[in-house]
Amino acid sequence: MPMKIKQLLTSLHPKISEMAFMSELTSGKFEREEILRSEVVELYRALDTRHKIQDIYKAKLDDGLKENLIQKDDLALMTEVIDDEGETDDHIDHLDMRFKLFTGTDVKRGKFPKKNDELQKINDEWVNICKEANLWEIMACHCAIEGWYPDISKMFETEYKKRGFTDEELEIFIAHQGADVEHSDAQYAILDKNYSKINPAKIEEMVKRTFGTSKGYEQMKLKFANLDKPLTEFFS
pLDDT lower than 50: segments of the chain: 1-2, 86-91
> 43 exposed, middle or buried (CB, 10 Å; 0-12, 13-18, 19+)?
buried
| pLDDT score at 63 | 95
Residue spans per domain, the chain: 4-226
| pLDDT score at 82 | 82
Cβ atoms 118, 220 nearer than 8 A = yes
Distance CA 161, CA 169 (A): 10
| pLDDT score at 57 | 95
Class for domain 4-226, per CATH?
Answer: mainly alpha
| pLDDT score at 88 | 44
Residue 152 Cα distances to 129, 143, 149, 169, 212, angstroms: 22, 15, 5, 17, 16
pLDDT digits (tens, 9 = 90+) for 168-182: 999 999 998 988 788
Q: Which amino acid is at 214?
A: S
Q: How many CB atoms lie within 10 A of CB 228?
A: 7
| pLDDT score at 81 | 81
Compute the radius of gyration of the chain from its Cα atoms.
18
pLDDT digits (tens, 9 = 90+) for 176-209: 898 878 888 889 999 999 999 999 999 999 999 9
